[in-house]
Homo-oligomer: A and B are copies of this chain.
């Protein structure tokens, strides 16, 4: 079923996806070669182009019928890539999208500066929309994400993270960007305020579901599926909902064992397997799946007032896919 869902999305989106790739390459071309190399390393390593698709179809759903939605949709792919480059330096993660993270191939300063450069590209295209509200959205995204990352850095290794704190973290880490992307599609189409809000809310819930699914995959997927070893969050001292919920349900003895395991941050495969079992026993996996499903349901409900059309179908399909995917 999942594979079918992914294929249906790709089939429907194929002509757009092709144009999106061309636009992404086109804007990188006339620049310093090293910058192009570092940016390309991340940009063309199998990203799903989720954000461009979301902006294109949010705009079309609101009746946008000029020819620039593809060009403008890459605003948020560049912005996303910029934040990933900075995050990789911040997190010192070694693997991104199954490839070595940029900062393991180039020095951290060069990666930071390439992030700034992609931010500039994003802005340059955003300015061409002539919509200052889209700039405000980008500013809000950047502000929330940078503050969120700093906040998360301070909370690294915190063993008693609450579900509310977790929600705030993933909202700023993932949801605000997807939310802003969908909202910007509506702004581009000069949609009435209630449609802009509906698409913004759709994006928010989709982003929350998407990140919860990601956090689940870090425990449930195989290394091959993930393109990196599972358990990465834990090794980086990041507690996510499956664990947070399980900790709150666990017996005192199991809770202490889990906390010790987390504090140790180094796991052998047996320990990781045992920890995973606890996440099933104490229903952390199930609970997180349920919460992600809630968000998918809410995301789709936000689209209720829009007329049925291909874009609406695709946005619903993307919402369903966000929690069914294996990568």
Contacts and interface: CB of A to CB of B under 8 A. Distances in A.
Given A108-B108, A136-B124, A139-B127, A114 B31 contact: no
A147 interface: yes
A107 B90 CA distance: 9
Given A32-B150, A132-B130, A132-B132, A109 B90 contact: yes
Contact of A35 (B110, B114, B139, B147): B147
Interface size grouping (class) on chain A: 35 or more
Contacts of A136: 124, 127-128
Which secondary structure characterizes the binding site on chain A?
Answer: helix
Nearest to A119: B142
A132 to B, nearest CB: 5
B135 A116 contact: no
Contacts of A151: 32, 34
Contacts of A32: 147, 150-151
A127 B140 CA distance: 11
Nearest to A124: B139
Given A86-B112, A112-B89, A126 B120 contact: no
Nearest to A123: B139
A142 to B, nearest CB: 4
Contacts of A140: 120, 124
Contact of A110 (B31, B113, B145, B153): B153
A110 B150 contact: yes
Contacts of A129: 132
B113 A142 contact: no
Nearest to A108: B108
A93 to B, nearest CB: 12
Contacts of A86: 112-113, 116
Given A109-B153, A132-B130, A138-B123, A114 B34 contact: no
A90 B119 contact: no
A191 interface: no
A223 to B, nearest CB: 26
9 contacts: A31-B147, A32-B151, A34-B151, A86-B113, A110-B153, A114-B150, A116-B142, A127-B133, A128-B132
